[in-house]
Structure 1
Amino acid sequence: MPAKSNAQQQAAGIALSVKEGEAPRSSLKGASKSMFESMSEAELKKMASTSRKGKPSHVGD
């Protein structure tokens, strides 16, 4: 599933770096924490690698 905003992509990147052991678990907050708990590494890679071109900063509910 591709990211819908830059913020979502960034949160996925943080969660992915923790899953891969490159960042401490204490760096997880908010959306990245829930992504870490609910998504697989493959799903996070797909979301984090989405192109940023044309994406809004945030997407409202």
Structure 2
Amino acid sequence: MPAQSKAQQKAAGAALSAKRGDMPKSELKGASKEMYDSMSEDELEDFAKGKRKGKPEHKD
């Protein structure tokens, strides 16, 4: 299930980066921190992929 907004995609990308060890978990905050704890790497990858063009900044 891909993200429905740019903000969701960015948060999933940050959580995925931390999950892979590219950035420390301590740098995460807000939605990305929650995503890190509750989603698997495969789920985060699926959520973060796709184009951002045409998506709203935030979900209604």
1:27, distance to aligned residue in structure 2 (A): 1.2
Question: What residue in structure 1 maps to residue 59 of structure 2?
Answer: 59
Aligned residues: percent identity? 62
1:26, distance to aligned residue in structure 2 (A): 1.1
Q: Which amino acid aligns with 1:39?
A: M
Count of equivalent residues: 60
Could you list the runs of 5+ residues in structure 2 that have no partner in the other structure? none
Question: What residue in structure 2 maps to residue 7 of structure 1?
Answer: 7
C-alpha distance in structure 2 between counterparts of 1:45 and 1:33, whole Å: 15
Report the TM-score, using the length of structure 2 for normalisation.
0.94
Could you list the runs of 5+ residues in structure 1 that have no partner in the other structure? none
Q: Which amino acid aligns with 1:56?
A: P
**Moved >2 Å (runs of 4+):** none
Question: What residue in structure 2 maps to residue 41 of structure 1?
Answer: 41
